[in-house]
A and B are shown apart, each in its own frame.
Chain A
Amino acid sequence: MDKILVIVGTLLITNSLSAGNVTPKDQILEAYSNMQYPQARRLAYKHSKLPESRLVKALCAVFDRKKQDLGYGLPELKNIYNDKNLNSKLRLQAGLAYARAAQTLQMREGVYPIADGIDFNAIYDSIINTYPDSPEACFAVVYQAQSLFESSDKKNNLKGISILEKFLTNYKGPKNFLAAINILIADQYIISDANYRKATKYMLNAYKSGISNPRTREIVLYRIGRTYDLKLKDKKSAQKYYRMFIKKYPNSSSTPIIKRYLREMGVQNG
């Protein structure tokens, strides 16, 4: 029995000591970051005076499907975004999550009336203008453009492209978010206008800016070579990017195919 008591005591002390190393704020954020919603919620209620608790409680209410409470979560995220006394980083997260949740809920017409009428674009505008060089601004501009690209009106599609292009011109934030926007512009030039010249320009920009996802990086390099070959009939440039691909991805499933393309172009040792 003594041994058991010693063990329990030791465990309690270790626990309290280890808890002392991590602040409640970091504990709450860590739990939410790991998608451990019940734990995050429990910690947030335990330390409810912390502004992070307010944010995490609201985020859990929106995104934890098992205990979703949009009636509390959505307005609370809006309130946090509008609360000028709070840290700007928290407000930014609350604002973006509020706007995007509203936008995606509105996509499911008639299912979530609570999201109806929320002007998510106004919040995206505000985020882009207030924090123009933040990664969140990159998300906001893509979210905003998505609505325009979903329209069947070509004018709206082109407007979406122009919003993204304008954003890229002004953006001075972390470069690793540029690739996604460049790829989106490239795709939209193909969809809206079949403009492969511009699409190639943006794919090259994406590739040079550093694509985070290794699979996407490989596909974009393939697409650059293939677009030069198939759509722009620029065989010289196609060969350059085909060779680059073979060198970079010798074991890729696309490498034998690219070698065949080179052979079909009459390139020796393709």
Chain B
Amino acid sequence: MAKKDLPSNNSIANKIGLFMALAFYVVSIIMVGINTSESTGIIDRDVETITVAHWQLEDGFREGFDEAIKQYEALKAKEGKRVKVIQTTVPVRGYSQWFITQLISGDPSDIIELSGASRLHNQYFVPLSSYIARPNPYNKGTPLAGIPWKDTYIDGMNSSLDQIYADYFGVGTFFHVTRVYVNKKLLRAATGNDKMPTTFDEWMEDCRQLREYGEKTGKAIIPIGVRGFDKVTLKHLFVQYFSQLNGRLNDNNTEFCTPNVSVGELLDGMSRKKLDRNRLLAAVDLIKDVGKNFSEGFTATDLEQTKFLFFTGNVGFFPEGTWNAWSMVKNSPFEVEVINIPVIGPNNQHYKKFTGQISEAGVGVGGKFGITKASKHFDLALDFMHFLTSYKINQLTMMEYCKWPPAVIKAEYKDLLKKFKPTEGDAMRAINPPFYIGKKSRTKTTEVLERIIINDIDNPKKYFWNEFVKNIPFMLQEVKQSLDDAERQFFNLEGQRSCIAAGLLKDKLLPQKQKALELRYSMGLENLVERLNRQYNSKAAFKALKLLQKEDADEQKEVK
């Protein structure tokens, strides 16, 4: 009997399922019809709607944007325009896939936070070069009134300039710098005072006292917490101390008198023995000293673990970007002090080589938002981007809600944010150590530093140099790859030139559009010239690496 009932039940269920599917199909057709109808739709046709999408799920970011949207809609309503801005957020883990899918779907959000390769930006986002030279209309009545949009940015929008296509596909909203977060309570307990370290040696002395305090109290104290898993902290500290010891190389070693010395120029200097190897390697000693204060398994510790250890009161100092500042301060059950990375002071063995504290002026701006070419509301989207990046609103969203440093100049830094104000230091520029070229050789270099720390290598500079020479084949591969890429890009750039030229062949061309295309056309030629210069530097790097490799082989022969 039961067996007989089964097919009957299934059949009813199938019928119900089919009926439901049909019913939903019919209802959806009716709803689409009603919603797209001019007269009776749910969607109000008089309201111009744009969507803004991004992946910033950090505390306060969405709330800040919500407030900006609220103010914008109210402002537009006063002007008699009915406008709606919809904010969409996507978690960072799936953002790149979502980003590409949105773009190729043909119906993406109007404003999207940029991600992925330049090629995508060039293909799917509106070039903004013809808009950035005009003042931001929402800066009227502020200290930035009348200033070109580009110049209202702390980096002059330099970090928004696409290096390959020589155009601006997005505008930024914030910047970040690295600071050291200090557990004040723990430091006080260990050192007996509230004095914050300003020099490297003071920092190391505080760490020594923290270790002693841990031993005395039996607590598992980690003087310096690091992001070891992604090697971010070590990479940053190495560049920082390398720059403090070699900053003059930017001043005096540029063949083309550019603001920054290139790695090619540095390698060339190294291969011709024009640079002091001892000085170039001095930062390795400092990293070994700092590393003594990391936890034992630091290479496997990730950001969240270190944050947890910090919150539980086990970490004394944590060098980290300002993107985590608010959560560090807010979530710690003790007072957190924020300090700059200590500089090499007079008591340090390498002080004679110290060239100065690094300037953060003009630090790169992030959180770049672009307008998609498929947007049907370009003017409104541009207007909202102006509003979002204006003096008042950028400070409102970033400083008041997100506690992040804003992208605009002349911002009024208050309370915690005062600590994030970019410092000019000793007006020295950061410099890329010439021991790596690309991602692979950089990882290998950082791994060498890790081994120096973990194995307590006796002569760290000698060990580092030997490992650097061993890594030269990887660096050569990377240079070769970049030269091959450059050749491919020359071809792509011609494709891009032909596209701009085709636009200029149109019969009906608005004067503004014509001007924009002509600007892009001449920028394209300038970009090509810059790329030729970069190619020359890459070739110089290749030649120098080969020479360094040969020198080392000759030295080995002599030793034998």
Contact = CB atoms under 8 A, between A and B. Distances in A.
Interface of A: 3-4, 7, 22-23, 25-26, 29-30, 32-35, 52, 55-56, 59, 62-63, 89-90, 93, 96-97, 100-101, 104-105, 107-108, 135-136, 138-139, 142, 146, 149, 174, 176-177, 179-181, 183-184, 187, 190-191, 211-216, 218-219, 222-223, 226-227, 230-231, 249, 251-257, 259-261
Contacts, number: 198
Contacts of B154: 251
B16 interface: no
A241 B122 CA distance: 35
Given A59-B502, A251-B151, A231 B257 contact: yes
B256 A187 contact: yes
Contacts of A107: 487, 490
B29 interface: yes
A6 to B, nearest CB: 8
Given A253-B362, A256-B427, A257-B259, A180 B491 contact: no
Interface stretch (B190-198, B324-332, B448-456, B526-534): B526-534
A195 to B, nearest CB: 12
B424 interface: yes
- A-B pairs with lowest CB-CB distance, top 5: A253-B362, A33-B503, A63-B495, A226-B257, A260-B427
Contacts of A59: 495, 498, 502
B362 A90 contact: no
Interface residues of B, number: 74
Contact of A3 (B37, B424, B487, B498): B37
B156 A223 contact: no
Contact of A223 (B258, B424, B518): B258
A184 B529 contact: yes
A212 B526 contact: yes
A212 B523 contact: yes
Contacts of A55: 502
Contacts of A146: 532
B359 A7 contact: no
Interface in B527-547: 527-530, 532-533, 536
B416 to A, nearest CB: 23
Given A30-B503, A223-B258, A256 B359 contact: yes
B424 to A, nearest CB: 4
A187 B533 contact: yes
Interface of A: prevailing SS: helix
A142 B46 CA distance: 52
B529 A142 contact: yes
8 contacts: A187-B256, A211-B526, A212-B519, A215-B158, A216-B526, A251-B361, A253-B158, A253-B359
B161 A254 contact: no
A214 B501 contact: no
Interface string B490-516: 111011111111110111100000000
A62 B495 contact: yes
Contact of B523 (A3, A101, A213): A213
A25 B507 contact: yes
Nearest to B163: A215
A93 B498 contact: yes
Nearest to A94: B498
B543 to A, nearest CB: 10
A73 B214 CA distance: 73
Contacts of A181: 525, 529
Contact of B527 (A52, A213, A226): A213
Contacts of A211: 526
B409 interface: yes
Contact of B259 (A4, A52, A96, A219): A219
Nearest to A259: B427
Contacts of A34: 373, 499, 503
Contacts of A96: 497-498
Contact of B522 (A136, A180, A184, A222): A180
B22 to A, nearest CB: 16
A226 B153 CA distance: 25
Contact of A176 (B29, B490, B494, B518): B518
B362 A26 contact: no
Contacts of B501: 93, 136
B491 to A, nearest CB: 4
B497 A139 contact: yes
A257 B427 contact: yes
B155 A253 contact: yes
A227 B254 CA distance: 10
B363 interface: yes
A35 B123 contact: yes
Given A35-B123, A177-B522, A4 B256 contact: no
Nearest to A224: B257
Interface in B3-49: 29, 33-34, 36-37
Contacts of A136: 501
B363 A29 contact: no
A101 B526 CA distance: 19
A109 to B, nearest CB: 10
A211 B523 CA distance: 8
Contacts of B429: 253, 257
A7 B37 contact: yes
A254 B166 contact: no
B507 A23 contact: yes
B526 A223 contact: no
Contacts of B373: 34
Given A7-B36, A101-B491, A191-B536, 18 more contacts: A33-B506, A56-B502, A63-B491, A63-B492, A63-B495, A93-B501, A101-B494, A139-B497, A181-B525, A181-B529, A212-B519, A212-B523, A215-B158, A219-B259, A222-B259, A223-B257, A251-B361, A253-B359
B206 to A, nearest CB: 29
A251 B157 CA distance: 11
Given A213-B527, A249-B156, A260-B427, A97 B256 contact: no
A149 B361 CA distance: 36
Contact of A93 (B256, B427, B505, B523): B505
B189 interface: no
A104 B495 CA distance: 11
Chain A CB within 10 Å — which of B424, B502, B528 has the most?
B502
B353 to A, nearest CB: 18
Given A227-B257, A251-B156, A254-B259, A33 B150 contact: no
